Amino acid sequence: MGAPSAFPLDYGMITLVDRAASGAELPSMNRSLLALGALVLLSACGADAPSDSTVTRTDSAGVKIIVNSRPDTALLWTLEEIGVLRDSLGEPWLFTEVSPARVLTDRAGRTYVLDDDHAVRRFARDGRYERSFGRKGGGPGEMEFPTALMQQGDSLVVYDGGRGVLVRWGPELDPINDIGLRGAFEDVRQLAFRVGGVWVEKASYDSLGGMVALYGDTLPGAPLMQVAKGKPKPLSACGGQVELMLPPFFSPEIHWESAGARILASVGPAYDLRLYEGPRLIASVRRDLPMRAPTLDDLARIYPEGIKLQTPGFACTIRLDEIQDQVGVAEQMPFVQGVALLSDGSMWVRRSLGRESPVLDVFGSDGAYVGTVRGFGLPVGLLPNGEVLVSREDPDSGGFVVARMSLRK
């Protein structure tokens, strides 16, 4: 194993170590492939794609500005399902939640999924279940509120937001000591490692509202992007039994996902995707679509039966008209509801709300809009053989499966 290099993130509180050059098997996870930076750099910043009158390309202080004016078009690429992740009996493995932040792949073609029961599942290259590790608790290899699965050096890592620690397993998937996040890293909402650095999302709230910010490496410095959540308003519901303070619904959020040395991020409401190489902005990818104000129907897509609250001895439903009248909605409806960045440089954007039929916009590595596809969730991984992993709802159970898709461009 090569000598470890100090992670460039040491404020006297913690020092993280990057062993990505060690050549070990586990570091081949799709978030830290050493060759990825060069691969994506060539595909995204090389020669422009063939001329397309619906794509306008300019340059502003070294940042590529790519504006796509083509209206919604059926995806030009072909996606075909060839199988799903399945259990030892060959039945589809059902998940309650699947997102890009909870899935990893390695160069052996195996898939790791952070499941909702505080365990990580590993599946073979053919999608067959192999093993599980991790459980609920507060010791090594245990989690309380896991939100992200990642790889750092020769360790597999889960961010446990409940305890504010990085839960780790070694190359043989044996639990090793946690790393506590202290000082500038306290109260982090989400984080992801890259080769030579880390991205961190943080939030702060006061009586005037909230601020969500995304940082690249230097937490005490200026964020890469930030967004104000708006001043919270009082909500009284369920016959006065529920009193809440909430910002307007559909207030802008930061959506982001990383791959290798890059991160794709969006902050609503405009359709503007920001592509960063490390902490440096290199491209802005946009779609020229008309804005609109959110409506009560948009709330109903997320909460078709209202917002249900239930605790031992108490249950009620907050009606949507109560939310609209007392809290209200943002002035503009955000276009982007989620993003994914694959290791081939392609960018995927979810535009649909809640559990309604997913609507995904797809962009090539050159930033050109390739088309829109429906019926699949955001891609959650890319296998070495080019298969794309996507989530889709299982109609019989209401849960989700992870499907292996062949992709032809």
pLDDT of 6 > 60? The answer is no
Per-chain mean pLDDT for the chain: 84
Q: Rounded CA gap, 262 and 342, in Å?
A: 10
pLDDT of 4 > 50? The answer is no
pLDDT in the model for residue 10: 26
Cβ–Cβ < 8 Å for 150, 197: no
Average pLDDT over residues 347-369: 92
Look at 179 and 230; give whichever has higher pLDDT: 179
Q: How confident is the model at residue 15 (pLDDT cuts 50, 70, 90)?
A: very low
Tell me the three state secondary structure of residue 226.
Answer: strand
User: Which of the residue ranges 44-48, 222-226, 368-372 has the most confident prediction, judged by mean pLDDT?
Assistant: 368-372
- pTM for this one? 0.83
pLDDT digits (tens, 9 = 90+) for 61-119: 999 999 999 999 999 899 999 999 999 999 999 999 899 999 999 989 999 999 989 99
Q: Rounded CA gap, 282 and 41, in Å?
A: 10
Q: Rounded CA gap, 115 and 104, in Å?
A: 12
pLDDT in the model for residue 382: 94
Q: How confident is the model at residue 9 (pLDDT cuts 50, 70, 90)?
A: very low
pLDDT digits (tens, 9 = 90+) for 278-304: 889 999 999 999 999 999 999 999 999
Long-range contacts, 387-393 (Cβ 8 Å, 24+): 387/82, 388/79, 388/342, 389/103, 389/105, 389/111, 390/79, 391/95, 391/98, 391/99, 392/358, 393/355
Domain boundaries, the chain: 5-76+139-339+352-361
Please tell me the total number of residues recorded for the chain in this structure.
409
pLDDT digits (tens, 9 = 90+) for 107-164: 899 999 999 899 999 999 999 999 999 999 999 999 999 999 998 878 899 999 889 9
pLDDT in the model for residue 369: 97
pLDDT digits (tens, 9 = 90+) for 309-352: 988 888 999 999 999 999 999 999 999 999 999 999 999 999 99
- Which residues have CB under 8 Å from 381's CB, separation 6+? 30, 100, 103, 104, 105, 111, 342, 388, 389
Token look-up 């509202």 returns 209
